[in-house]
Amino acid sequence: MKSRINIKTILALLIVCIIALAALVHMRNTKHSASPQYVLRYADNQPDGYPTTQAARFFADQVYKRSGGRIKILIYCDELLGTESDTIKQVQFGGIDFARVSTAQLSEFAPDLTLLALPFLYDDSKHMWNVLNSELGDRMLDAAKDADVIGLSWYDAGVRSFYTTYPIDSLEDLKGMTIRVQISYLMDDFVRCLGANPIAITYSSVYPKLKTGSIQGAENNLPSYEASRHYEVAKYLLLDEHSRIPEMQIMSKNLLEILPAEDISLIQKCAKESSVFEHKLWEKREKHALEYVVNMGVEVNYLSNSERQKFRKACEPIYKKYSKYVTDYEDLMNQIEKLK
C-alpha cells in the first residue's frame, strides 16, 4: 500500500515537471519572437523579391536564428526609408542600422571606392568576383570607413548598359542625349565623356522622367531595368555592358557601441554568407530579366567591335582623373589586371 502511493506520487510529480518544462520552453520561445533584445533597421531601394532584398531577408533570418531570437532586423524595401544617398547618410549617424547601396553612390563619401566602379574595368563577372574576394576587395570594404560606415560584404549588381527612348547603337548617337545617371560624380563624368548630357536624379524619379521625355535614356543592369519597369518607357536597350558596379552591405558604426563583440562577429559572418546567396540569385535573375524584357517588346542592340573601342577610348580621361582620388591607384590597377 505504502509503496503504491509512492509510485503514484512520483508519477504525478513527473507529469507536473514535464508540463512545467514544456510551458517554460514555450514561454521562452514566445518571449524571443515577441520581444527581441535588439530591433534593427535595414534599407534597400529595390523592391521585395529582388535578389538584393531576398538576400537581405536571408541575412536577417540567419542573424535572428543564430542569436537565439535576440536580434531582429527589419527589412525596408522600395526606398521606404529614403533615397539611396539619404540612407547612406542615415547609416552614418545611426538612424538606420544597415543598408545595401551601390558603390558608385558610396564612393561619393569614400573616394577610394571609385576604383571598383570605373567603366570597362572588369572582363566579366568572374573577374569582378576575383577582385571582390581578394585582399584588394577586403581593403575596399575597409575603405567604407572613410564614408563613416562599416562595409560588411559585397553584392553582385551585374553589368550596366544604356536604354533609351529611341534606338541608338553608336557613340555618335549618344551625343547630346540627356541621360539619367546615379548621384555620383564618376557616373556624371562617364556619361559626359561619351558626349551625352548627364542628369543626376534618384532611382525612383527615372520612370516618370523617361515617360514625359525630359530625359531620353538611362543606364542600369538588366534586373533593375526589368524590376523598375523602365523598359515600358525606354524600349531600346543597347547592350554595351559599360560598367560593373558592385554593391555593398553597410552597417552603422554606432552598433559597435551597442552590441557585444560576439554579436558583431555574428552579423559580419551572416552578411558574408548572404553575399554568396545573393550572387547565386543574381545570375538567375539576370538571365530571366533579359528574356522578360525581350518578351515585352524591347529591342536589343549591340555595339560593334569598332564602336566598343570608341567607347573605351572616350573613357580614358576618366581613368586619368580618378587616378588622383584613389590611394595607390597604379598598384591596385596592376592587381586588378592580374586577377583576370
Other beta carbons less than 10 A from residue 66's beta carbon: 15
Q: CB 210 → ligand GCU: shortest distance, Å? A: 13
Give the residue closest to ligand GCU by C-beta: 224
Q: Cβ neighbours of residue 99 under 8 Å, at least 6 residues apart?
A: 42, 43, 44, 84, 87, 88, 90, 91, 249, 250
Q: Cβ neighbours of residue 62 under 8 Å, at least 6 residues apart?
A: 270, 273, 274
**Residue 45 or 164: which CB sits closer to ligand GCU?**
45
**Residue 48 or 331: which CB sits closer to ligand GCU?**
48
**Residue 67 or 184: which CB sits closer to ligand GCU?**
184
In three-state form (DSSP H/G/I as H, E/B as E, the rest C), the secondary structure along 198-215 is: EEECCHHHHHHHHHHCCC
Sign of the Cα torsion 307, 335, 101, 197 reads: negative
**Residue 112 or 247: which CB sits closer to ligand GCU?**
247
**Residue 55 or 332: which CB sits closer to ligand GCU?**
55
Q: CB 326 → ligand GCU: shortest distance, Å? A: 21
Q: CB 270 → ligand GCU: shortest distance, Å? A: 21
Q: Cβ neighbours of residue 188 under 8 Å, at least 6 residues apart?
A: 181, 198, 200
Q: Which residue ranges make up the site for ligand GCU (CB under 6 A)?
A: 45-46, 84, 102, 157, 182, 203, 220, 224, 247
Collapsed DSSP state (helix, strand, coil) of residue 286: helix
**Residue 45 or 252: which CB sits closer to ligand GCU?**
45
Q: Cβ neighbours of residue 330 under 8 Å, at least 6 residues apart?
A: 323
Q: CB 143 → ligand GCU: shortest distance, Å? A: 18
